[in-house]
Chains A and B, each alone.
Chain A
Amino acid sequence: MKISCVIPAYNESKNIIKVIDKVLPLVDEIIIIDDCSLDNTYELAKTMNVVALRHPINRGQGAALQTGDEYALSHGADIIVHFDGDDQFKAEEIKTLITPIINGEADAVFGSRFLGSANFPYIKRAIIMPLARLVNRFFGIKLSDPQSGFRALNRQTLEKIKIENRGMAHCSEILYKTYKTQARIVEVPITVTYHEFGQSFGGGFKIIKDLIIHNFIK
């Protein structure tokens, strides 16, 4: 069973080597998608034992994930893990995510910061997350973490999903589309260490706007 880890990266020269070193022993293949970084993220990734791809123009995290997914699927991946390049997730928790899929208990596993321990900034915990959860409920999604970027999906499920929101709205989009595939979904606790604030309050509204706009495009 081939396990591929897709890691989008933008200006992550400080973290990328560290992240690769931690993830590499746990998976069969790492696919780094440099989203046209302004620093030497891509050059650093190329020196490692990973597949390094580079977008010629910056397209956003959702777009980078889809590029990585397409590469992974066309190169025989059975389980695809989405991981962040900023060293906020714990690599050892990849095992927690892929185990239910390996055991045949789930088709998609989403990491939840609410089931685990995460030092959420106050505004994120008190306003952004409840709001995002409310928006997800509107789409029929009842998971505890509405915006988790740490997830694992099996090949059959991912083949039915195309990420079209290139910005941060892709998290909700992946959840929604996974639900639509009727996949067996499991949520597992994950640990997140915030280095920066991450999603801003305005960013939360941008996600809602992007989700609405993309529903109108044919």
Chain B
Amino acid sequence: MTALVNPGLAAELDRADEFNADACMNCGVCSAICPMGVDVAVRKLFRYVLLGMEEQVRAQTEAVFSCLLCKMCEENCPAGVHIAENVRTLRHHIVRTTFGLGEG
């Protein structure tokens, strides 16, 4: 398997110093507690971003948009990851780069 890597992806997403996927320590509390179940593995998504694996992020579009943004995971995250805002930021990225939307 080959993967095109965009090493600047995490920096591109960090528009307002709020995208802190690098704080995630992959403990899995978010996955265990997510009301939507394993469909939305935010830990995995954040790893893809940190590794610059943009295609893999796009391939998870339904997972990204299935998140409820309910912050149940964030409330219980021991690492203080801004999970909901990180996911929303990924949505903004997909909306612009995959759907070609987002002009005001």
Partners in one complex: no
Q: Hey, which bits of chain B sit against chain A, CB under 8 A?
A: none
Q: Hey, which bits of chain A sit against chain B, CB under 8 A?
A: none
